[in-house]
Structure 1
Amino acid sequence: MNETQTQPSVMSVALKYGGIAGLIIIVYTLILLVVDLSSNQWLMSVGYLILIALIVLAMKAYKESNYGYMSYGQGLGIGTVVSAVAGLLGGIFMWIYTSFIDTAYMANMMEKQIMELENQGMSDEQIDAAMSMASSFQGPGMMVIGSLIGYIIVGFLLSLIISAIMKNSRPQFE
């Protein structure tokens, strides 16, 4: 790389693809909510496949704009920021959805959880304790923070693997 060639910004690529990932995940989640399949864990986990695809696309775009090069650290940063943006957007969406669109959503989820705990044979005291703890994580702020932290952790772990596969470090001496 000579003096006139500049390195692309890791952050600009990551923010762009994080926004795209967030929007796709929001649309997918909204579809699941509308057709009442949001409690299907397998279908909800497809959101992580979307995240993986967008992390790979972001790293590929970065490499293309950086003459085919991307260090392991750059890839890790890209994937983590993509995940953070997607998680933030997803958390904000769920907060808006549960606060303004389907205000009974959280109560319905709690009811399903209670039935699941009863089926597992838990006592009423155990169920009350579990639901008390769960309700403390229900507020809008906790919803956004929980989504953000969850996506950052998962995205970081995914990026550890994806970056190792996709890295192409610039030779030390060109």
Structure 2
Amino acid sequence: MSLDLARAHLARFGRADDVIVTERSSATVELAAQALGVEPARIAKTLSFRGPEPGTALLVVVAGDARVDNAAFRAAFGVKARMLGGDEVEELTGHAPGGVCPFGNPPSATVRLDTSLQRFASVFPACGDAASAIELTCDELAHVTGDPGWVTVSRLP
């Protein structure tokens, strides 16, 4: 189960008990914001893109109100921004659509954090399913994702 993978990952940092499980779906930015009672921009959405090698994924965590800038993405990663197909998401990220997160991913997935998140004191990434999240500061998010590095591949409205 995807939530279990995320919790096991977060347990290595003493944060498994901080996972919030909601009774309502948090599968989209809007639903997550409603379920958690926060502004949509603070939802840290994990976008799943095709990686540079076959069978790999790039997971980019961006603010809920951010959109990917295709030119910036290509400059940062050297590949065109192409979202994974629904049938590829779980295989390459370890999580089903609606619960994709930067925790408990297989080696086929590379995580990067977008600077659009840094304007908030804390953000809420999903935790492996469509009804879970965790509140983390950006420093905590970087730490629990293995300090993957910050990129600027988004634009704000």
Q: Give TM-score scaled by structure 1 length.
A: 0.20
Give the TM-score of the pair, scaled to structure 2: 0.22
Structure of greater Rg? 1
The answer to which structure has the higher helix fraction is 1
